[in-house]
Structure 1
Amino acid sequence: MSAISLQDLDISYGTAKVVEGVSFDVAEGESFALVGESGSGKSTVLKAIAGLAPDWTGGISVLGQPRGHRPDRGFARRCQMVFQDPYGSLHPRKTVDTVLSEPLQVHGLGNRDARVEEMLGAVGLDRRFRFRYPHQLSGGQRQRVAIARALMLEPKVMLLDEPTSALDVSVQAEILNLLKRLRAEQGLTYLMVTHNLPVVGFMCDRMAVMNRGRVVEIAPAAALHDGSFSDPYSRALYAASGGTAHD
């Protein structure tokens, strides 16, 4: 069974079609990237899967369950999203404890204290951070809290929208290493949007290259090491990145 399956997905904003005919499957446990320049439609695909871009046609399924156009509480138990901006994704007047507890309260889940502390530990934050506010945290710490919040309901699929691009370079590596470790420890499937090809080389097994709302090529991450792309746009993107990605 695929963790994520998209079939002939079209997404519109008003009368403008911004994604057209996108189809791919992500295997359970795989880390799969959507890459392309700004405006290529890659983040819009994530938003449609997450239910944040409801004007779409085609097919979306996650862990074998079709995704409808309406809010779906059960979906939140299977799939969660981590956003690009850790400054904007956390409520400024809510403590870390409140942020992490809310998903449990919404879904009627107990054992709150133990679960909050367990997730803080999983993302490398000790219990001292539990009752702090976002303004008392660094950017990297905020993103760790955002990742912990996404994991509170024990989803198996994570949507990652440029999860390190708003962070200092020194902190980016810490967050990428954390995500890589969590995937291994919790058996997670990742669908990651990024324009950073070295990140794909470090984090992902395969990638779909998007250009102007369409997938032009699906390639293994190994193509970042040997340049074995078939589509001209993919080759140009690879060349523009310096033609190399690091392990």
Structure 2
Amino acid sequence: MGNPAILLKDLDISYGSTKVVRDVNLSVAEGESFALVGESGSGKSTVLKAIAGLAPDWTGQISVLGQPRGHGPDSGFAKTCQMVFQDPYGSLHPRKVVDAVLREPLKVHGLGNRDARIAEVLNAVGLDQRFRFRFPHQLSGGQRQRVAIARALMLEPKVMLLDEPTSALDVSVQAEILNLLKRLRAEQGLTYLMVTHNLPVVSFMCDRMAVMNKGEIVEIADAKQLHSGDFSHDYTRELYAASGAEAV
């Protein structure tokens, strides 16, 4: 493992007067695929939002590729770190064709060769060029999530935050998207921090995982332990036992 791609120290996150994440300490190495797992409401998605700049009420330290994360918008950060959201139906503008969705980050950052870059990234996510001028309602859920992944890749980030990226998709499509994400990580040297409640997804996608319960990390484990079920914390063992019937 190399230097930390994501470093969280003493991270507390609040919504109003309610503290929802407490004392999170985490280091994700460059090139690693790391999972945050836990039940709904455990705080795992909130951690991603804080890193992405979408949950500004936090204390502690957040750094990505050695750069401290401020509390406000940071256009330079967008080139380093991008987020893929859970809902491919809500994350794309309904009245913008795919070409416009992918072109926007290039325009915002003043980058050239836009047509070539759009064609390259669509190819990388397994969509041919006929999809460029379609609207989101003309795409399936899996195709929309491919577009969302393509949009996240436009600025060539090295770190990707993945918030339950397949949970809103049909089971038949989930494996396609997971295979795509796995291939992109290998081809582009990406670091993933993935939120999921599905332990088989962790086993397939990730090197390590942090288990969250009620806003705190209760255990950090090697994903290989998912094959043996050898965990130290009762809550992790309960999650593991409950996941036995799930499938990727």
Scaled by the length of structure 2, what TM-score is found? 0.98
**Partners of 2:84 and 2:165 within 8 A in 1:** yes
> Structure 2 matches for 1:1-247, cutoff 5 A?
1-242=3-244
Aligned length: 246
RMSD: 1.1
**Letter of the aligned partner of 1:181 in structure 2?**
R
Q: Percent identity among equivalent residues?
A: 83
**Partners of 1:238 and 1:244 within 8 A in 2:** no
**Structure 2: unaligned runs, 5 residues or longer:** none
**Letter of the aligned partner of 1:210 in structure 2?**
M
**Letter of the aligned partner of 2:136 in structure 1?**
P
Q: CA deviation at 1:111?
A: 0.1
**Partners of 2:198 and 2:246 within 8 A in 1:** no
How far, CA to CA, are the matches of 2:238 and 2:45 in structure 1? Answer: 21
How far, CA to CA, are the matches of 2:201 and 2:92 in structure 1? Answer: 24
**Partners of 2:219 and 2:232 within 8 A in 1:** yes
**What is the SS of the residue equivalent to 2:87?**
coil
**Partners of 1:208 and 1:216 within 8 A in 2:** yes
Superposed CA offset, 1:210-238 (max 9, x none): 00000000000011000111011111111
How far, CA to CA, are the matches of 1:129 and 1:243 in structure 2? Answer: 36
Runs of 4+ in 1 over 4 A off after TM superposition: 243-246
**What is the SS of the residue equivalent to 1:59?**
strand
Q: CA deviation at 1:242?
A: 1.3
**Partners of 1:94 and 1:133 within 8 A in 2:** yes
Cα 1:143–1:244, aligned 2, differ >3 Å: closer, same or farther?
A: closer
How far, CA to CA, are the matches of 1:24 and 1:14 in structure 2? Answer: 24
**Structure 1: unaligned runs, 5 residues or longer:** none
Superposed CA offset, 1:25-46 (max 9, x none): 0000000000000000000000
